[in-house]
Amino acid sequence: MEVAGVYLSPFAVSCLKGTILATAVIVAFHLKFGKNPVLAKMPHKMHPLIGNLLDMPTSLTTIIPTMRLWCEAFPGICYGYVLCFHYVIISSAEYVEPVMTSKKFLNKGLDYDSLRPWFGEGLLTSTGEHWYKHRKLLTPTFHFSILDQFLPIFNHHSQALVRALQERTRGVGHVDVWPLVANATLDAICQTAMGVEIGAQDGVESAYRNAVKEMGNIVQELSIRPWLRNQTLFKLFGMKGHQDRTLAVLHNFSRTVIEKRRRELHEEGRLLDGSFTIEDMPLTKRRLAFLDLLIMMSENGEVFSDEDIREEVDTFMFEGHDTTTSCINWALYNIARSPDVQRRIERELDDVFGGDDRAPTREDIGSLKYLECAIKESMRLFPPVTLFSRRVYETAQIREYEVPSGIDILIFPYMIHRDPNHWPDPDKFDPDRFSPEATKGRHPYSYVPFSAGLRNCIGQRFALLEVKVMVAAILRRFWVETDEKYEDLVVQMSLTIQKHGPLDLRFTPRTRTSELMRSG
């Protein structure tokens, strides 16, 4: 073939045709999905035609560093797009407040669609009247009076965790603590919220824990490679089969838990007459364990169907297991790398317990003020959920910027918690930031580890109590150390922020001699 008097081989012709086709596709995408002129009033930096495609993270370990660079280049708020997906990224208290407080931002973002095969229309992913109704029904199950009943269970599983650490560290001192903590939190959520004992710390349910991790990785892969949201490509790359196998483990586990508890309630004669509704019940009766309430409200089939129960159980199994696992592990790591902080916690524990091995009471846990500050500061540096999103379905306003319908708002607590305007020397671990004096006058949306506003985390008091009980139990028995420097950490973003590779910590049994040596 000749073009302008130049002969082209068949291969060159094919390449030319391919280049023209690719160019045409890119131009078409740009014309249809290019830079949004309204959003372009926000700070941004994009490549012609392809937007921020080349700026996308390349792996689960590069999501947080990549987004941190964006947020440091454009503090507070910025705009980006990849193909047809447009995002507004928020990284400051001032810009997140109007999102958290407006009813226009109640719907979860597009990234949550990847969770629906797992959670369906559970509380985390649902919207509108369905979400509002279920949230109202389930809120009493996390009342403080219920939490008091859970404390002995938290104590029991924290002691099992201490024994596991004693066995694993005997003779070596150090251990990858993450899976041990994950088993303890899985046991705790099952026995408290679900009313079922599963024996995860005895190695019974490692398959479930691994499936949670795999599903989190799949969801994040879809977020950094949005083209895989196309179902044809999702199948072509083999991810659909992997997801189906993973979901089978997760859903089967949840259904087993539900059926076991349903049988127990029937045998105990505790199921309500099907004519009852939640509104008919006195307030004290509404404060049932989470799964018990769901099953009781499903007896007439009008409030919760069996599938509704499965969706909510899957949601709370994750939220009450994976997030608290992340909190506990990062708290141990941050305390381990801060000997001065650990010594203050050690003294506080001795003041409260006086060297006694007794189980803590609710009053004891409430007295551990500095430990709570250390846990909150750890969640500032490593918020369990480092990224969440909202989608607007009508024109909305974020301070001086207009946001058109159909746009996703990415909220990045990892950088909201590192805003130097509210957190001087933001990468320093300093529990005193959460002393009563330090918190006075601080922007209420500068710290959002449990989200905020109407869609805040329903189980945040549950989570904080569990974390305090388990961390206190460990630090009453061990002095914890680490060789891993903060600046050398490699973290990965699954559904929660996790350490890439093992989280090796050294656990030295506390003795009077060792404490005297540390004190001087």
Query: Is 35 strand, coil or helix?
Result: coil
Q: Which pairing describes strands 85-90 and 408-411: parallel, antiparallel, or unpaired?
A: parallel
Q: For position 3, what pLDDT does the model report? A: 41
Strand partners, 162: none
Mean of pLDDT values over 449-458: 90
Q: Summarize pLDDT for 27-50 with one digit per residue, the tens.
A: 555 555 567 889 989 999 988 778
Query: Is 65 strand, coil or helix?
Result: helix
Calpha distance 413→456 (Å, rounded): 13
Q: For position 19, what pLDDT does the model report? A: 75
Looking at residue 388, its amino acid is F
Element (H, E) at 364: helix 362-367
Q: For position 147, what pLDDT does the model report? A: 82
Mean of pLDDT values over 240-264: 91
Name which of 100, 111, 107 is nearest 398 in CA terms: 100
Q: For position 24, what pLDDT does the model report? A: 59
Q: For position 13, what pLDDT does the model report? A: 58
Mean of pLDDT values over 482-511: 93
Task: Say how far residue 61 (Cα) sits from the centre of its chain.
Answer: 16
Q: For position 467, what pLDDT does the model report? A: 97
Name which of 468, 374, 473, 474 is nearest 429 in CA terms: 374
The answer on pLDDT for 91 being more than 80 is yes
Residues 6+ apart with CB under 8 A from 53: 47, 82, 83
Name which of 497, 414, 409 is nearest 448 in CA terms: 414
Q: For position 282, what pLDDT does the model report? A: 46
The answer to whether 494 and 60 are in contact (CB under 8 A) is: yes
> Can you state the angle between helices 369-381 and 460-477, rounded to 10 degrees?
110
Instruction: Pick the more confident residue, 519 or 372.
Output: 372
The answer to whether 496 and 328 are in contact (CB under 8 A) is: no
Phi, psi values for residue 90, rounded to 5°: -115, 130
Q: Summarize pLDDT for 156-174 with one digit per residue, the tens.
A: 999 999 999 999 888 787 8
Confidence band, pLDDT 50/70/90 cuts, at residue 4: very low
Q: Count the neighbouring beta carbons within 10 Å of the beta carbon of residue 307.
A: 11
Token readout for 332 is 């141990």
Domain boundaries, the chain: 1-33, 128-519
Q: Summarize pLDDT for 266-306 with one digit per residue, the tens.
A: 887 766 555 445 454 444 444 567 888 888 877 666 667 88
Which range, 141-155, 181-195, 213-227, 364-378, has the best average confidence (pLDDT)? Answer: 364-378
Pick the CATH number of 128-519 from 3.30.420.40, 3.40.47.10, 1.10.630.10, 1.10.150.120: 1.10.630.10
Q: Summarize pLDDT for 345-389 with one digit per residue, the tens.
A: 999 999 999 888 899 999 999 999 999 999 999 999 999 999 999
The answer to whether 86 and 104 are in contact (CB under 8 A) is: no
Q: For position 399, what pLDDT does the model report? A: 95
Percent over 90 (pLDDT), the chain? 55
Q: Count the neighbouring beta carbons within 10 Å of the beta carbon of residue 96.
A: 27
Instruction: Pick the more confident residue, 11 or 228.
Output: 228
Phi-psi region of 410 (alpha: psi -120 to 50; beta: other; left: phi over 0): beta
Q: For position 518, what pLDDT does the model report? A: 56
What pTM value is reported for the model?
A: 0.88
Percent over 70 (pLDDT), the chain? 87
Q: For position 515, what pLDDT does the model report? A: 57
Q: For position 76, what pLDDT does the model report? A: 97
Burial class, 443, CB count within 10 angstroms (exposed 0-12 / middle 13-18 / buried 19+)? middle
The answer to whether 474 and 184 are in contact (CB under 8 A) is: no
